[in-house]
Amino acid sequence: MTRYLKKVYIIASCALFVVLAFLIYNYTKPQLDKVTCNLALRGLVLILWGVSVMPILTEEHEEIRRAVRKFTDEEIVPVAQELDRHQKEIPREIIQKMAELGYFGLIFPPEYDGIGLDYISMAIVAEELSRGWLSVGSVMTRSIITGTLVLSHGTEEQKKKFLPGIARGEIMTAAAFTEPDSGSDTGSMKLRAIKKGNGYILNGEKTWCTFANRAHVLTVLARTDPDPNKKHRGLSMFLVEKEVGDVIKHPNISGEPIPTVGYHGMRSYSLSFDECYVPEENLIGMEENKGFYQLMATYESARLQTAARAVGLAQAAFEAALRYSKERSQFGQPICNFQAIRMKLSEMASRLQAARQLVYYACGMKDTGKRCDLEAGMAKVFSAEMVEYVTREAMQIFGGYGYSKEYPVERYWRDGRVISLFEGTSEIQHEVIARRLLEL
């Protein structure tokens, strides 16, 4: 109830501003020209509309944050630095505890063993997990992508088969969309799926398939229409089932991990599909040539979750820098007393909070059921640029120690760089944003 009372109060306040603007317009015409007043009125109406969908965190949201923060501080923070240093994978025990806490089923409906929470709750969980280690927050992303694809576009049989396991964390998934010669250019994908009997035969290459070795299901985008001129109109989405292991375990799929600068804890693979058979009931929606459109609709959820991860990572970097600035002394006083450091902290905090609110706003839009590719793109690109700035400035505040592995700030810096590259590069996000703005 408190949430709605706050909304009513804010909306009423904005309405009062509109009334005041109207009175000013009618009784001070000699002082204000009509164009200026009209613009002011339109601006206030837009503000009123924006506030009406602005998310306000409830006590339930704050309880979720406290619970996830406690889990992160107890289970993730103590081991993250050492695991990253030796490029070890996230312990299965952590993933199992995440499953027991329901983190993989947050946004999925209870009829499929999900919790049925809103997207703001999902963002809070991703944010707090990523504050401990970006990779842990990222484990959820794969489940969100596959689960959302099945929930939105799958047949009822596919939903019953896959969704409960995904929501319970018993079925782990990985996305195989990118190819060596086609990243953002989805329409140029070459991996072929040829109909044969009651299934399809997959042949081709995929790359940057993160978590592939530990996934029970690979979500694979493949070309079912051989006509290259069809581009994105000839793609279909498949669910390829496999065994879990330390390496890729499938008789017709081979792969090698890709060495990376950061984002350890999960291995990213280049995969080769060689006569890989997939039963036709694992074609999402049982419809050919719909894969691109299914994927684009799913990207809203993935980009919101990715933006939330950036916020969590930046929060960790900011907290570390703030704490260090109070502890580190130079010239007889803590470095936080120096204006140069205070300016950095102020700018870091401001950008971080702006990104967080943009993420929550975009999640609020998603929760209304409205199209939000514009808002999701804004949240993703702004958060990506923000986390690079915050982690870089955190390293600067640490000085030489920031460049050493003695402190986690260098890990934050390495991990932060990947946000602008995956789930659609920042350049692609700007293109999406501009295209949508020009449609409005």
Alpha-carbon 215 to chain mean position:
19
Tell me how far apart the alpha carbons of residues 120 and 308 are, in angstroms, rounded to a whole number: 9
Among candidate residues 127, 128, 375, 423, the one labeled active-site is 423
Asked about 423 being catalytic, the answer comes back as: yes
Cβ neighbour number for residue 85 with a 10 Å cutoff:
12
Element (H, E) at 341: helix 339-367
Number of H helices, E strands in the chain: 13, 9
Tell me the β-bridge partners of 199: 196, 279
Instruction: Select from 413, 356, 414 the least CA-distant residue to 65.
Output: 356
* Pairs from 321-329 (Cβ < 8 Å, separation ≥ 24): 321/345, 321/348, 321/393, 321/394, 321/397, 321/398, 321/409, 324/397, 324/398, 324/407, 325/397
Q: How far is CA 252 from CA 171, 240, 268, 271, in A?
A: 20, 11, 18, 10
Amino acid at 166: I
Active site residues: 423
